Amino acid sequence: MSKTDSLTDNEAAARLEWLATEIARHDAAYHRDDAPEISDAEYDLLRATNRALEKQFPHLIREDSPELAVGAAVSDAFTKVQHRQPMLSLGNAFAAEDVAEFDERVRRFLSLEPDAPLAYTAEPKIDGLALSLRYENGALVEAATRGDGRTGENVTANARTIANIPETLSGDAPELFEVRGEVYMSHADFAALNARAEAAGGKVFANPRNAAAGSLRQLDSGITASRPLRFFAYGWGDVSMVPGETQGDVLRSIGAWGLTINPAMALCDSPDALVAYHADIEAQRATLGYDIDGVVYKVDRLDYQRRLGTVSRAPRWAVAHKFPAEVATTVLDDIEIQVGRTGSLTPVAKLRPVTVGGVVVSNATLHNEDYIAGIGGDGEPIRGGIDLRVGDTVQVRRAGDVIPQVINVDLSQRPKDAKKFVFPDTCPQCGSAAVREEGEARRRCVGGMICPAQAVEALRHYVSRDAADIDGMGVKQVEAFWQDGWVREVADLYTLEANHGDALRSREGWGEKSATNLFAAIDARRTLPFARFLYGLGIRHVGRTTAAMLGRAYGSWQAFEAAMIALAAGDEEVRETLLGIDGVGGVLADTLASVFSEAVTVEHLDRLKAHVIVEDAEAIAEGGVFSGKTVVFTGTLEQTSRAEAKAKAESLGAKVAGSVSAKTDYVVAGAAAGSKLKKATALGVTVLSEDDWMRMADS
Ligand SMILES: [Zn+2]
């Protein structure tokens, strides 16, 4: 917890105000929207900080203090269900001593001798959503959420869509039986759901529990049905008959009726055995495939459970043994900048090693420069708008296998000489400019091919189909040659045979033939069309169309490069000309200027051009047969690629469209042309065979 001794009244009041707003916001996000932004541990920390401050500054307690607010109300969207037996919560244990104390309490209450036999069931505590299923004469009649424990929400229609909740119980189920358990989503299903949501531009869920809660509390059960929810039974509520003498017996009966009970449930006969079970489950935590936040122990004998009863809405006969908190306090020793494969700069916190949730953490992501400055995604202040400085005492969070994050700063511990962090504007790997474009959270190194961090990606791009298109050079080969130091930049491809030919021919998995084929494929690309060459350089914002457009505008590589170097030197006239080209905007002009302002980049281009001849781009033909016409390609072209045909048509002044309409002038139909050809015929558009097209284009 943060040290608050040195706070003035003003500072404390400001913090309390921030905490009240922050906690209210997280309450709404959690309860109303099922979309929390922080972990439970972080939330608890905010609440604890607030309580500590209120205790120390009682005269500053606010009217809207989070401590005075009431708990989550049941949503009006669902009908209410009064639980006939309350859905209880569990007391918590955090350490082995707490477990021993729990055992002592139970023995004391039951007047058992310390060595009298006393068994407990132990099972993982699923981090999901509690659900009560009411079966009458073996048929599911009602499903309700926990709500506040007394009143829950009726989610029967939704629960019916969960695959492992049976509609009817098999075997000799009692007349009335309420099964209680947890609805959850597996890690794999959660990842797939979020991937689908992301692909569809939808909202992603923060964690599996919220995905499960958000899915179960849908007004449209059709949506719930599309979500892969599952259910583990762990107890019971209102029942006409209890089928057994122990917790374990009853759960096995519930399992026999067709519900799923946790296969990891075990019987333990001592506090030591419980603690060993806890350690065993914690070790399996990452591989269970679903989230758990601890294990639950229950006195096995039901006659004991009845005698023990409940105290303040928690049973005396059960306890939740939680896993260690996933938030810890440590010191931010340094901020390091990492460069990704595509050039984005990511700041990483170098932390004094600290154990968080049972794992030693010494690195944490800081996302981007705004995050360091205390600014969140929408310009909203995070951490109360407090920036991170090297030397700061910070709180670190780790949740499951998620990358650890720095979530809070303790200002009272900030060293006097701590300086605001200045985010570098050059790449730490290659020294090129690191540019932050408008609307982007991260800076990017413009070094591309010459940046070691981006080299493999740059090489892969250069050899790809739409660029140099070198057969036999895939990601695997690029990575292997890079590892060996044979190909560190694109120019090295063209000296591969001269420098490493013999080695490659005798290399395992290669042999004479494939090596010779590769060298031939490389040789075939010693001459490249302007657009392919420029596109192959992998400059940001220079896609195939832009590369072709720049080619048509400048004609020769020599003219283009000279213009770009002048642009980089600040030549306004060149910039005007560039911006005058249809489709060129300020962002592209800025990018080109920063790329060509790097001497290393220009030197690398010189090395590359020693091996590659860049063909002049074809200027747009005026008055040709395709000039100003709209052309559509369809079917499989056999003599050229679709990309090449498109470039050719554009060089002849045509506009290439993707679909046929009345405005289409020509449809070039390759093999197996389908609906577009049909439509063209129906609209009376001139249809050309691939041969017709080639002949007319070359004439
Ligand atoms: Zn770089």
327-413 maps to CATH 2.40.50.140: yes
Task: Give the Å distance between the CA of 443 and the centre of ligand 1.
Answer: 11
DSSP type of residue 31: I
Query: What's the mean pLDDT in 533-548?
Result: 90
Take residue 134 and report the two structure tokens written for it.
Answer: 């009411």
Question: Distance between CA atoms of 49 and 492, rounded to whole angstroms?
Answer: 59
Whether 73 shows a pLDDT value over 50: the answer reads: no
Whether 217 shows a pLDDT value over 80: the answer reads: yes
Q: Which residue has the tokens 């070094």?
A: 447
Q: What is the mean pLDDT of the chain?
A: 87
Question: Distance between CA atoms of 70 and 63, rounded to whole angstroms?
Answer: 13
Task: Give the Å distance between the CA of 542 and the centre of ligand 1.
Answer: 18
pLDDT at 1: 37
pLDDT at 72: 41
Task: Give the Å distance between the CA of 341 and the centre of ligand 1.
Answer: 10
**What element of type H or E holds 650?**
helix 642-651
pLDDT at 654: 82
pLDDT at 77: 72
Q: Which of 85-89, 149-153, 277-281 has the highest mean pLDDT?
A: 277-281
Lowest mean pLDDT among 100-104, 611-615, 654-658: 654-658
pLDDT at 382: 79
Residue type, 39: S
pLDDT at 526: 96
Task: Give the Å distance between the CA of 539 and the centre of ligand 1.
Answer: 13
Question: Distance between CA atoms of 562 and 569, rounded to whole angstroms?
Answer: 11
pLDDT at 621: 59
Reference 591, options 455, 462, 438; nearest CA is: 438
Q: Buried b vs exposed e over 555-565: b needs ≥16 C-beta within 10 Å?
A: eebeebbebbe
pLDDT at 280: 95
The answer to whether the CB of 352 falls within 8 A of the CB of 383 is no
pLDDT at 71: 36
Whether 333 shows a pLDDT value over 90: the answer reads: yes
Reference 393, options 376, 371, 410, 405; nearest CA is: 410
What is the pairing mode between strands 91-93 and 318-322? parallel
Rounded to 10°, the helix 557-568/599-609 angle is 170
CA dihedral 11, 16, 22, 28 (to 10 degrees): -170
Stronger pLDDT, 698 or 193, i.e. the higher one: 193
Whether 391 shows a pLDDT value over 70: the answer reads: yes
For the stretch 12-63, pLDDT in tens is 888 888 888 888 777 777 666 666 677 766 777 788 788 878 878 777 777 7
Task: Give the Å distance between the CA of 698 and the centre of ligand 1.
Answer: 43
Reference 555, options 620, 623, 466, 625; nearest CA is: 620
Task: Give the Å distance between the CA of 601 and the centre of ligand 1.
Answer: 11
DSSP H helix total and E strand total for the chain: 25, 26
pLDDT at 623: 67
Query: What's the mean pLDDT in 220-243?
Result: 92
Task: Give the Å distance between the CA of 485 and the centre of ligand 1.
Answer: 18
Whether 65 shows a pLDDT value over 60: the answer reads: yes
The share of the chain scoring above pLDDT 70, in percent, equals 93
Q: Where are the domains of the chain?
A: 9-68, 81-322, 327-413, 446-619, 630-698
pLDDT at 377: 67
Whether 285 shows a pLDDT value over 50: the answer reads: yes
Whether 298 shows a pLDDT value over 90: the answer reads: yes
Task: Give the Å distance between the CA of 604 and the centre of ligand 1.
Answer: 14
Cβ contacts of 416 within 8 Å, gap of 6 or more: none
Whether 517 shows a pLDDT value over 70: the answer reads: yes
Task: Give the Å distance between the CA of 673 and the centre of ligand 1.
Answer: 45
Q: Which residue has the tokens 């989070």?
A: 66
For the stretch 133-145, pLDDT in tens is 999 999 999 999 9
pLDDT at 614: 96
Superfamily of domain 9-68: Helix hairpin bin (1.10.287.610)
Superfamily of domain 446-619: 5' to 3' exonuclease, C-terminal subdomain (1.10.150.20)
Residue type, 254: I
- Band (pLDDT 50/70/90 cuts) for residue 3 is very low
pLDDT at 169: 94
Query: What's the mean pLDDT in 493-499?
Result: 95
**What element of type H or E holds 327?**
strand 327-339
What's the burial of 340, exposed, middle or buried (CB within 10 Å: 0-12/13-18/19+)?
middle
Task: Give the Å distance between the CA of 588 and the centre of ligand 1.
Answer: 19
Residues involved in catalysis: 125
Reference 408, options 5, 7, 38; nearest CA is: 38
pLDDT at 68: 62
CA-to-CA separations, 518 to 154, 510, 591, in angstroms, rounded: 66, 10, 34
Task: Give the Å distance between the CA of 560 and the centre of ligand 1.
Answer: 23
- String of DSSP letters for 135-160: EETTEEEEEEE-TTSSEEEB-HHHHT
Beta carbons within 10 angstroms of residue 3's beta carbon = 12
Question: Distance between CA atoms of 536 and 546, rounded to whole angstroms?
Answer: 12
- String of DSSP letters for 173-203: --SEEEEEEEEE--HHHHHHHHHHHHHTT-P
Take residue 580 and report the two structure tokens written for it.
Answer: 């005058």
What is the pairing mode between strands 327-339 and 318-322? unpaired
What's the burial of 660, exposed, middle or buried (CB within 10 Å: 0-12/13-18/19+)?
buried
pLDDT at 544: 86
User: CATH class for domain 630-698?
Assistant: alpha beta
Question: Distance between CA atoms of 198 and 192, rounded to whole angstroms?
Answer: 10
Whether 266 shows a pLDDT value over 90: the answer reads: yes
Cβ contacts of 186 within 8 Å, gap of 6 or more: 208, 228, 230, 289, 290
pLDDT at 168: 94
Question: Distance between CA atoms of 70 and 66, rounded to whole angstroms?
Answer: 9
Task: Decide: helix, strand or coil at residue 207.
Answer: coil
Task: Give the Å distance between the CA of 435 and the centre of ligand 1.
Answer: 11
Q: Which residue has the tokens 């029967």?
A: 156
pLDDT at 325: 64
Stronger pLDDT, 537 or 50, i.e. the higher one: 537
Whether 4 shows a pLDDT value over 50: the answer reads: no
Whether 573 shows a pLDDT value over 90: the answer reads: yes
Take residue 531 and report the two structure tokens written for it.
Answer: 């657009």
pLDDT at 620: 60
Task: Give the Å distance between the CA of 447 and the centre of ligand 1.
Answer: 5
What's the burial of 171, exposed, middle or buried (CB within 10 Å: 0-12/13-18/19+)?
exposed
Whether 214 shows a pLDDT value over 70: the answer reads: yes
CATH number of the domain at 81-322, please? 3.30.470.30
Stronger pLDDT, 218 or 258, i.e. the higher one: 258
